[in-house]
Structure 1
Amino acid sequence: MLYLFSVRYSGAEGRAVMYFYDDEGGTLRAVPDHSGHKPYLLTELPPEELLEKYPEVVRHPGFNKLDVVEKYDALSDRWVKMTKVEALDPLSIGGSPKSIREVLRGHTWESKIKYHHCYIYDRQLIPGMPYVLTNGEPKPVEVEVPESIRRLVKSLSEDKIQEEEMLEWARLLNAPIPKIRRIAIDIEVESEAFRVPSPKLAEDRVIAVSYYSSDGKRGVLLLRRRSEDEEKSINIPGAEVRFFDNEKDLLHAVFTLLDSYPVVLTFNGDNFDLPYLYSRALKLGFKKENVPIVWSEKAEYAELRNSIHIDLYKFFTNKSMKVYAFGNKYREGQTLDEIALALLGKGKVKHEDTIPEMSYEKLAEYSFRDAELTYELTAFSDDLVMKLIILMMRISKLPMEDLTRHNISAWIRNMFYFEHRQRGWLIPNPEEIIQQKGETSTKAIIKGKKYLGAIVIDPIPGVYFNVLVVDFASLYPSVIKTGNLSYETVRCPHEECKKNIVPGTTHWVCTRKKGMMSSLIGILRDLRVYVYKKVAKESKDDEEKQQYEVIQSALKVFLNASYGVFGSEAFPLYCPPVAESTTALGRYAILKTMRRAVDLGIPVLYGDTDSLFLWNPTQEQLEKLLQSILDELRIDLSIDKEYKWVVFSERKKNYLGALKDGRVDVKGLVGKKRNTPDFIKNLFTDITSALSQAENITSFEESIEKIREDIKRAIRLLKEGEIPLDQLAFNVVLTKDLEEYNKTTPQHKKAAQQLLMEYRKLYGSVPMSVTRGSLVSYIKTRDKQGVKHLQLARIDEVDVEKYLEVMKTTLEQVLDALEISFDELLGVSPIDEFLRPQQK
């Protein structure tokens, strides 16, 4: 079968080219368009008026023809006639100062959509889906939906139309996912310490290129720079090591590799590896047509002529993937080392020498590990990442390169644009929506926000045993569905709908028509919550269970981000009343549930956004609550957590509790921050461990007493200089190269500079590299600098007061809830604190 991976515009051929992955051969197949599709924009000007006022349009060298088309204008709820201005190439539509879009400025619709996206919409192609070619035309492969899913869909659907829509999505989600033949590459450059190689200038030699593929081809290409004796001892398990006498031959071998795989993986390859190889090749005399890389400084990303390039850096640092797909496992991670350690349990090879000074073996080992980690990030858990990419391509309708490089708002925008074209709807301009729908009507209580957000119910301070947390299944997607929220339905033009007010706002919602956003988000939400989560849980087949888990995970990414985009000005379908109505209905649902719980005799201890903490409800009370909310609001409540006990302080969003399985849950987990010194992290762990043992009020009080003693002991050891320096180190990764920190001088930069200066004194040069991605360990000290690199610090220089402040900040979240005063453990009485001179 052929799977659509990409669509590109070929200037040489003057048409779109589709790129299909051939599952049987493991190759990429280019299929040129035979439909005659051309770029275009829409204008409200009738042809005769356009010819009269803007004759330069038809005189434009790229102009092709005019057509009149009918489109549904959802904002005004009417069909309108538009003039379709067709051009010979995309740049004639937009992208240059003399384009047709600029000539018709203020009178165009759909003129900023990228051509390859427009082609996908109009041809109704779905990236990631299987096709067969019939006379050069792609035809969708029929996908059978399992009977278990069909039954669930039928039970959920309100009518036959909705049932067919849901089944169409189920076909898309259930379609087979190919095992993708791919290769990861990593390059190393012979650059001086502290000078970042420029991809544009490419002044330094490429001395190593490593590769790691899905079909077992693995190795390192090295540039010969020293005697041959050293070559014989190299042993990199599982990798073939090849030497080249000149750099040009090495690059030729790299380009042969790139051309022989349908998908090429890099980590930050858009910004470095591929642009550098491109520029270096031209510098060495390669002709452009012999370089398989397409790159320019203006390009969004580096492309490959004959392959698909995935830059995993952009994919894994996508906030939605980080939070919703990978559960914040690499919360602060931006580097290959951090992400790989979090997801694979292994990181980069550590080194002290600069890249050019490494032995052949060390360089090969270092570079090969980077290629290995890059590949394995797509291969762990049975190719989880590749499966997620394919599924999210299908949901968003984005080609593979675009999906892996853009954030969630671009995914959701594209999904809605595709739906507009499928329905024959006019895609509105952003300013139209604001002009017709207006701004918000509620007042935000958080600085920087434009409207009232989620509700937080103040906790009742104290210790409570047997606490249940109930939460709404996808609260915001649920209210978008049940509230019929969409840019065209909120504040619709119909007089009779103005009585249908959203509680807590001045907005009304259409009662005549189902909103597009409401319909799409509702279908995806129902499929995730009621279909794929259910069949994943019930399936006895491990392979099938994993398949459904991946599907519901992909849907989760979309759903959890869907509300956020509607409240972002950068989103082209941004509609403030929709975002405001979503949070208003969310608040209404929480308050309604809280009142119902109280009516049933269940004490509500705390509430935040989409969950409520209930104190010791009976099974009967709980069942009545869940059923009544489902009946009244058409929203599902489910049990999220069960606590042995919970402690609330007077702070909002601050609590800790012991779950039934013994884990201690601390809201925010301040003590787990990556750069917190191990000494304080370990103390935090000891505290939570002591709390996890408490089963009743007596053992709880015993745990508190143990915590007091542990903290007192830690304070004493710190003051007496008994804590090893490595336990006191702050470990921070450089997110930029040292010279790029020009506005501020953070402490880890100071420490890195100190270490480099010390090496210069000792050796006259710097036998090490400290660059972006390097881990810097430093100690807070009492001298003017206030900080010293771990390798330079002495135990008597430690600034004890600063570490006590860090201890207090890290632990106070837990201590406040337990009503333990850190100052009193320090031996500082409240009156001493009052009399302490205030800092200016």
Structure 2
Amino acid sequence: MGDYGYMRRYNEDKGLLRYYNKEKRLAKNTEDLDPRVVEANRRSGGGNEQHKYDKRDTRRLSGLDLYLVQRSPVSVDNVSNNVHVGESPSVTAHSKDQNMAGFKHKNAEDPVMSPGISSIIHEPSGLDPGLFEIQEAVDLEGYIMEVSYDGSTSKAVIYVYVEEDGKLYKVYDKTGHRPYFLVDLEPEKAREIAGRSQDVVDIYRVEKFDLLSNRKVMLTKIVVRDPLVVRRLRDKYPKTWEANIKYHHNYIYDNQLTPGMKYRVKGSRFDLIVNIDMDKVREEISEIFSGEPEYVRETAIKWYPIFEAPPPRVKRASLDIEVYTPTKGRIPKPETAEYPIISAAICDNSGKCKVLLLKRGDGEELKALREIEKEGAEVRVFSDERSLVVALYREIARYPVIVTFNGDNFDLPYLYTRSRKLGLQKEEIPIVIRETHATFKHALHIDLYRFFKNRAIQNYAFEGKYKEHTLDAVAQALLGKGKLANEEGVGSMSIDELARYNLRDAQLTIELTTYSKELLWKLITLLMRISKLGLEDVTRTQVSTWIKNLFYWEHRSKGYLIPSEIDLSIKKSRKATEAIIKGKKYAGAIVIDPPQGVFFDVVVADYASLYPSIIKRWNLSYETVDPPEGMCSKLEPIADESGNEIHQVCMDRVGITSVMIGLLRDFRVKIYKRKAKDKSVPEELRNWYDVVQRAMKVYINASYGVFGHEKFPLYALPVAESVTAIGRMIITRSLKKAEELGLMVLYGDTDSLFIWSPDQGKLDKLRSWIYENFGLELEVDKRYRFVAFSLKKNYLGVLQDGSVDIKGLVGKKKHVPEFVKEAFAEAVGRLGSIETPQDIMRISSWLRDILQDIYRKLRDKEYTLDQLSFKMTLGKPLESYTKNTPQHVKAALMLAREGVSISQGDNILFVKVRGREGVKPVQLAKVSEIDLEKYIESLRSAFEQILAPLSIEWEEISGHMRLSDFAHA
């Protein structure tokens, strides 16, 4: 029968499953076992060599001390292949290579042969590496999707997607382009420093225009064989330029490519295909930008096609895998991949879904898969893991773009490591693990987790609709549906439950790219076009990289020298203000302290794109602020809110930052926001224009934060300082004008004013005055039914539709116990019903009732341990916690002492208890041990954020109850 790989003891007092290896106790024969164990094991269908994961594993077996899981290496005779026994044509079971270990088979008794499974189809154990080769092309029309460097050929490779056949092609560089960097030495001296290195291809002089000095400069270009040589040589020279740019980005700049756009590729030529009337474009741009310099108008004409050309219709599929783990909350490690892949699901953007399953359960459970098949998904069942993985690779080979959610960190590296463990050769595995991400040999990979985690995407593109970056949170916010419940872990699910769970994840992942008429895919396409980054780059990098790339591309297109960070830090270092916030280098935005209390009918007015507008209006750029003496004939002062001159700006030439940020702002405000609302425009086109303006909004709103960050390569302290100083000046003068008009401004923060019950005529006068004096638009952003301010500057506001805004949401944070979250959410919902000041008194009474009910439930132990549990992730190995021992680590150490294997990345569920340690893991705790005072403090921390702005004291709501009255009841 083979040996017994895993045993576990069920401790009835503590509810803890302890796992033992076979050295601790080994049953050699079935006769050695309690008959109940033998029967339970027989009914469970045996085990496999990785782990047994039958649903029965989690049940409580009355009177059963040991439950042994069989590990039995069994071969499957290939004669049994291709035997058709059932009626359902879409549900198929696949056998395995006879050298692989799998579940025990007993001919007719074998579950895979049960009615409802139509056929056993042989899966060849190997994979043809050619299956994952991208066809090379030299002459085609298609969309440039990505550019990378191929070390084997020492060439750039361009990935082109052709809509007509739905395939991805690769085009190797034919221009002879090589990596390079620039120095300010004569070629002879540059060659002398390089030495006799065979890696140097050429050295020659080039002319550039240096914006910092406003003159042409001659530099020496050092051309090398591969990008690694640049890294090796650049430190030998006293000063270098453009030596820290990734090679594939350099290739895009030099060839002026725009990823996401359609090209005719032939030989060494890349010809942009533009199917719009450029004469009409010039007319429109000349009219809209009539007052702008020629340079601005020409740049606008060049940019226009990237906003008008439709996005490529790309065939793509999502991929999601499920991995067995012996303990709920355990996160499998991709670097070791010790547990089996038990399910994999694929859904494409045409609506087709497939789920590949490792066989488990009995015939009746397998029959349940018929229902999933009836719902439209194809189901395939495999008797061994290797066959499942091989079939998965064959499936994904059909798609040029694969979408995952956290695939970089989990799915792809786990698949790669597990495939090697299963005996697949590197050539047979389509996955490539790179330094910064994971991808495929045959396809491009989008990891939506990394894209949605981007703050600019979260806050500007999706306006903060999702708060957490999990698949469930993002899908609930954007799709209105989330993951299926997973109470006991995937290892405890029946095979049909597992199939549905896995399919739902894959469906959510692909639907995030297709919902709302492919909003997300269109957004990604536009971000590629604006940033000049390929698909894999743009979905993984922050907005600072997008903006930097756009600026570098534009510098290269105009023949400008990209300035070095050293030059900027030396030539643009004069500081004129002191920061109020510790750690900042200059004074930031102005914040008006609010009065404490509740105010009804409050209008929030925002300066439309305040900082970008300032950058354009005042011509702010690294080369225009504080120019070298004698380099500018028209200087204007930059003053702060007190009228002090802090810097000067050159106005006789337009700054590159002013042009780029100003153009995006004007394209959005003057063209695409209007087109998106124009009912005379066809709906599909309006939808596209709405995505265009969203993409621009991401850039515009993030621009100042990027330029004001000292880590940004184009950071210049005087520019950042000038932007915030002008902002403070505008707010201060606006407040004074509002007071003159008789408007009551309650609160202001950076670019917004909270005005109490404003007269519309007076508000219009304020808006007109701001436009006339600063060229800025003051827009009404929202109108609150009421706003409640606390002394801590937190505010709570209820909008006209009853939705609630709260600044600082303790009650919604991930680690807060479920009972607190639920009560907090209910309270926030009630606040939306407040219409008058009298309603606040009623809410106060209701809050008292609900909190006292929670008191009662805590006292009477009505909450379960799950409802009371805190969940935190173990950020590093247990042994690494030497100085401090956080609460979740204390709980993890307790589990470890009980024999439970704990690893970095595991989610630790714990509760707060009385006693010296103060915490216990859920598995070891009892409800009677709960420390009620600590839970009431958690409740108070969450609810005081609601109560304080409403001027309600906690003691007033809690009814002056003393915890000691019932803490030990």
**1:54 is paired with a residue of what secondary structure?**
helix
* Kept in 1: contact 2:318–2:403 (CA 8 A): yes
1:6 is aligned to: 146
Per-residue displacement from partner, 1:207-234 (whole Å, max 9, x unpaired)? 4332222234422334457888865553
Once the two structures are overlaid, the 10-residue window that deviates more, 521-530 or 359-368, is 359-368
Shift of residue 825 of structure 1? Answer: 3.8
Q: Is 2:199 the counterpart of 1:62? A: yes
**Counterpart of 1:122?**
254
Shift of residue 590, structure 1, vs aligned partner: 1.0
Of 578, 585, 590, the match for 1:450? 585
The corresponding residue for 2:674 is 534
AA at the equivalent of 2:536: E
1:603 to 722, 727, 744: 744
Q: Partners in 2 of 1:811 and 1:472 — Cα distance?
A: 33
Deviation for aligned residue 1:391: 0.7
Q: Which amino acid aligns with 2:219?
A: M
Partner of 2:303: 169
SS where residue 261 of structure 1 aligns? coil
Out of 360-369 and 629-638, give the one that drifted further: 360-369
TM-score (norm. length: structure 1) = 0.88
Change (3 A) 1:735 1:531: farther
SS in 1 for 2:399: coil
2: CA distance, partners of 1:641 / 1:740: 51
Q: Which residue of 2 aligns with 1:178?
A: 312
> 1:766-790 deviations in whole A, cap 9, x for unaligned?
9xx998475x665433333434556
Determine the C-alpha separation between the residues in 1 that align with 2:490 and 2:295.
Answer: 62
Q: Which amino acid aligns with 1:175?
A: A
Structure 2 equivalent of residue 557 of structure 1: 698
Give the letter for the 2:473 counterpart.
E
Against the structure 1 CA distance between its residues 207 and 771, is the aligned structure 2 distance closer, same or farther, given a 3 Å change threshold? Answer: farther
Question: Is 1:44–1:82's contact at 8 Å kept on the other side of the alignment?
Answer: yes
Bigger mean CA offset, 65-74 vs 360-369: 360-369
Matched, 1:18 2:158: yes
Compute the displacement of 1:82 (Å): 0.8
The aligned amino acid for 2:496 is E
Q: For the structure 1 residues 661 and 344, does the alpha-carbon distance in structure 2 shift closer, same or farther, using more than 3 Å as the test? A: closer
Q: Does the CA-based 8 Å contact 2:878-2:889 persist in structure 1? A: no
Q: Which digits, 9 at most, give the CA deviation of each residue in 1:107-156, with x for residues without a partner? A: 32111211111010000000011122345632111142797997587334
Residue 417 (1) aligns with residue 573 (2): no
Does 2:618 correspond to 1:483? yes
Q: Which among 376, 392, 396 is matched to residue 258 of structure 1?
A: 396
Unaligned runs of 5+ in 2: 1-140, 964-969
- Report what 2:69 is aligned to: none
Could you say if the C-alpha distance between residues 807 and 75 of structure 1 is closer, same or farther in structure 2, counting changes exceeding 3 Å? same
Q: Distance in 1 between matches of 2:525 and 2:199?
A: 36
C-alpha change, 1:497 and 1:828, in structure 2 (3 Å) is farther
Residue 264 and residue 684 in structure 1: after superposition, are their counterparts in 2 closer, same or farther (change >3 A)? closer
C-alpha deviation, 1:378, in angstroms = 1.8
> What one-letter code is carried by the residue in structure 2 that aligns with 1:412?
I
Structure 2: distance between partners of 1:457 and 1:8: 49
1:714–1:151 CA distance, 2 compared to 1 (3 A):
farther
Rounded to whole Å, the distance in 1 between the matches of 2:175 and 2:904 is 51
Q: 1:33 to 1:716 in 2, by over 3 A?
A: closer
Q: 1:31 aligns with which of 151, 158, 171?
A: 171
CA contact (8 A) 1:263 1:308 kept: yes
Q: Is the 8 A contact 1:189 1:206 kept in 2?
A: yes
Distance in 1 (alpha carbons) for counterparts of 2:895 and 2:480: 29
Query: Is 1:644 the counterpart of 2:781 in the alignment?
Result: no
For residues 255 and 585 of structure 1, what CA distance do their matches in structure 2 show? 57
Say if 2:874 and 2:903, in contact at 8 Å, map to a contact too. Answer: no
Contact 2:848 2:959 (8 Å CA) reproduced: no
| 1:456-483 deviation per Cα after TM superposition (whole angstroms, max 9, x unaligned) | 1122334433322211111111111112
2:371 is equivalent to residue 371 of structure 1: no
SS in 1 for 2:539: helix
Q: Provide closer, same or farther for how the CA distance between residues 215 and 701 of structure 1 changes in structure 2, counting only shifts above 3 A.
A: closer
- Cα shift readout 1:147-166 (whole Å, capped 9, x = no counterpart): 79975873344235433422
* 2:430 alignment partner in structure 1: 292
1:93 aligned onto 2:225: no
**SS at 1:817 equivalent:** coil
Matched, 1:630 2:771: yes
Q: Distance in 2 between matches of 1:349 and 1:740?
A: 35
Q: CA deviation at 1:689?
A: 4.9
Partner Cα separation in structure 2 for residue 571 and residue 432 of structure 1:
14
The 5 A counterparts of 1:181-196 are 181-189=315-323, 193=327
State the shift of 1:359 in Å.
Answer: 4.4
Tell me the SS of whatever aligns to 2:600: strand
How far does the alpha carbon of each residue in 1:497-525 deviate from its partner, in whole angstroms, 9 at most, with x for none? Answer: 66523425622222222111111011111
CA distance in 1, matches of 2:495, 2:876: 25
- Inter-partner Cα distance in structure 2 for 1:366 and 1:686: 29
- Give the AA of the match of 1:84: K
Determine which of 270, 275, 279 is the counterpart of 2:408.
Answer: 270
Hey, what's the Cα distance between the residues in 1 that align with 2:879 and 2:430?
A: 32
**Cα offset, 1:736, TM superposition:** 4.7
Mapped to 2, the partners of 1:362 and 1:242 lie a distance apart of 14
Cα distance between partner residues in 1 of 2:521 and 2:482: 21
How many angstroms apart in 1 are the aligned matches of 2:333 and 2:816?
A: 34
1:420–1:226 Cα change, 3 Å: same
Distance in 2 (CA, whole Å) between partners of 1:494 and 1:773 is 60
Q: Say yes or no: does 1:158 pair with 2:291.
A: yes
Asked if the contact 1:679/1:727 (under 8 Å) is kept, the reply is no
Match of 1:660 in 2: 800
CA distance in 2, matches of 1:206, 1:801: 44
- Structure 2 counterparts to residues 35-50 of structure 1, below 5 A: 35-50=175-190
Residue 567 of structure 1: aligned partner: 708
Q: 1:204 to 1:656 in 2, by over 3 A?
A: closer
Q: Cα–Cα, structure 1 residues 14 and 691, in superposed 2: closer, same or farther, change >3 Å?
A: closer
Which shifted more, 449-458 or 163-172?
A: 163-172
- CA distance in 1 between counterparts of 2:384 and 2:939 reads 56
Residues 725-750 of structure 1 deviation map (CA, whole Å, 9 limit, x = unaligned): 47952553537587587465544555
Identity level (%): 44
Report deviation, 1:252: 3.3
Q: Distance in 2 between matches of 1:211 and 1:466?
A: 51
Moved more, 559-568 or 357-366: 357-366
Q: Residue 367 and residue 735 in structure 1: after superposition, are their counterparts in 2 closer, same or farther (change >3 A)?
A: farther
Change (3 A) 1:189 1:781: closer
Give per-residue Cα distances to partners, 1:652-705, cap 9 Å, x unaligned. 2x22333333334333344433444454445545554554444444x3454355
2:407 aligns to what SS in structure 1?
coil
Does residue 437 of structure 2 align to residue 305 of structure 1? no
Q: How many residues align?
A: 810
Output the aligned Cα RMSD: 3.4
Is the CA contact (8 Å cut-off) linking 2:818 and 2:867 kept in structure 1?
yes
Does the 8 A contact of 1:335 with 1:773 survive in 2?
Answer: no
Whole-angstrom distance in 2 between the partners of 1:360 and 1:738: 33
5+ residue gaps, structure 1 = 834-840
- Amino acid across the alignment from 1:318: N
SS in 1 for 2:240: coil
Paired with 1:479 and 1:673, the residues of 2 have a C-alpha distance of 36
Residue 637 of structure 2 aligns with an amino acid whose one-letter code is N
User: What residue number does 1:717 align with?
Assistant: 856
Bigger radius of gyration? 2
Matched residues in 1 for 2:341 and 2:866: separation?
39
Pair 1:324 & 2:460 matched: yes
Distance 2:511 2:752 in 1: 37
TM-score normalised by L of structure 2? 0.77
Q: Which amino acid aligns with 2:188?
A: E
8 Å contact from structure 1 (residues 643, 658) kept in 2: yes
In the alignment, is the contact (CA less than 8 A) between 2:404 and 2:446 conserved in 1? yes
